[in-house]
């Protein structure tokens, strides 16, 4: 009886190790993002790589992310001429992410750095055009839900602190992202 219990305990331990190694090491995700600055909505893309998963409830990932926001404003000038301005915002960065595996919900938090580029282009000489790039740091938190082994919907809130803004009156930018990650 003791031998059977010992073999069964060894088998369960081996299965535990095998399932630990079979967890996702890469993640690719897409999101719809809403900001509190103009332009207000856009899309994001992210790639995550697991860097530490040996801890029982905690996993650490590195994330690369890219976001794009766009807004077009059309105006009629005093002389009846119609003009438009396009505001494009691109940002990309790297972040360290810590996740806590507690059942179907995985809360996570992270810190990162990045670069944000603003481009305002106008099709009329009376409207302002400029380009500006800024360095930023960000902090974020959210939760990922495990519906299927590879499909993980998520919600995340991120706040960014921009540095060296010259033409823009923007200091902190908050953003809500809702999307899905594919884990493999």
The number of domains in the chain is: 1
Whether omega for the bond prior to residue 77 falls within 30 degrees of 0, making it cis, is no
Query: Is position 98 within any domain?
Result: yes
Can you give the residue range of the structural domain that contains 46?
Answer: 24-183
Q: Which residues of 36-73 are buried (b: 16+ CB within 10 A; e: fewer)?
A: ebebeebebebebebeebeeeeebebbbebebebeeee
Confidence (pLDDT) at 153: 96
Confidence (pLDDT) at 56: 78
pLDDT in tens, 83-106: 788 889 999 999 999 999 888 999
What's the CATH number where 102 sits?
Answer: 2.40.160.20
Query: Is position 44 within any domain?
Result: yes
Query: Is position 8 within any domain?
Result: no
Q: How far is the C-alpha of 136 from the C-alpha of 89, rounded, in Å?
A: 13
pLDDT in tens, 124-146: 776 778 888 888 999 999 999 98
Give the 3-state secondary structure of 121-172: EECCCCCCCEEEEEEEEEEEEEEEECCCCCEEEEEEEEEEEECCCCCCCCCE
Query: Is position 10 within any domain?
Result: no
What residues of the chain score a pLDDT lower than 50? 15-22
Query: Is position 168 within any domain?
Result: yes
Query: Is position 5 within any domain?
Result: no
Confidence (pLDDT) at 151: 92
Query: Is position 6 within any domain?
Result: no
Query: Is position 164 within any domain?
Result: yes
């Amino acid at each position: 009886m003791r031998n059977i219990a010992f073999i069964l305990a060894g088998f369960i331990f081996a299965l535990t190790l095998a399932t630990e190694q079979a967890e996702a090491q890469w993640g690719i995700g897409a999101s719809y993002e809403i900001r509190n600055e103009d332009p207000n909505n856009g899309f994001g893309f992210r790639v995550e790589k697991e860097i530490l998963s040996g801890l029982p409830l905690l996993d650490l990932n590195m994330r690369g992310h890219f976001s794009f926001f766009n807004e077009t404003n059309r105006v009629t000038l005093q002389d009846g001429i119609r003009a438009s301005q396009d505001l494009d915002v691109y940002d990309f960065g790297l972040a360290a992410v810590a996740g806590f595996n507690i059942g179907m919900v995985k809360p996570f938090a992270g810190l990162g750095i990045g670069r944000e580029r603003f481009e305002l282009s106008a099709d009329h000489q009376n409207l302002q055009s400029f380009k500006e790039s800024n360095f930023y740091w960000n902090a974020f938190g959210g939760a990922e839900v495990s519906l299927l082994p590879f499909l993980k919907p998520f919600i995340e809130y991120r706040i960014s602190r921009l540095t060296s803004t010259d033409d823009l009156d923007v200091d902190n930018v908050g953003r809500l992202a809702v999307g899905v990650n594919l884990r493999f």
